[in-house]
Amino acid sequence: MKKFILAAALLMFASSANAEYLGGFIYSGMTTPGGGYTTAVASKQGSATCKNILFIVSVGDCSVRAAMKNGGIRSLAGYDVNRENILGFQTITTKAWGN
């Protein structure tokens, strides 16, 4: 039992050290505002995704620049970041829109 509590405490510490946002270790699903919002009408949309496994291994490119490239966007009107965490398996998706 002591080993389980120690492992849980260690995982909570690791997740708080990587706390770019407030979220639960068991489940978290949220969309946060990115920036660059304008009143321009956006005709294109793109997204980019990266994954994090147990706050140990991260793979992918979820940058705004990658989302713009995937959507063929030259002029950014805005972007949002969607974060989902299920038992330490995290997916971050950046959605960009513009022209």
**In the predicted model, what is the mean pLDDT of residues 42-46?**
90
**What was the pLDDT predicted at 45?**
94
pLDDT at 67: 95
pLDDT tens string 50-64: 999 887 899 999 999
Structure tokens that stand for 25 in this block = 């270790």
* 64 φ/ψ angles, rounded to the nearest 5 degrees: -65, -40
Name the amino acid, one letter, at 87. Answer: L
If you average pLDDT over every residue of the chain, what do you get?
A: 82
- The pLDDT of residue 35 is 75
List Cα–Cα distances, 10 to 15, 25, 40, 50, 59, in angstroms.
9, 12, 46, 24, 22
Question: Is this prediction's pTM over 0.75?
Answer: no
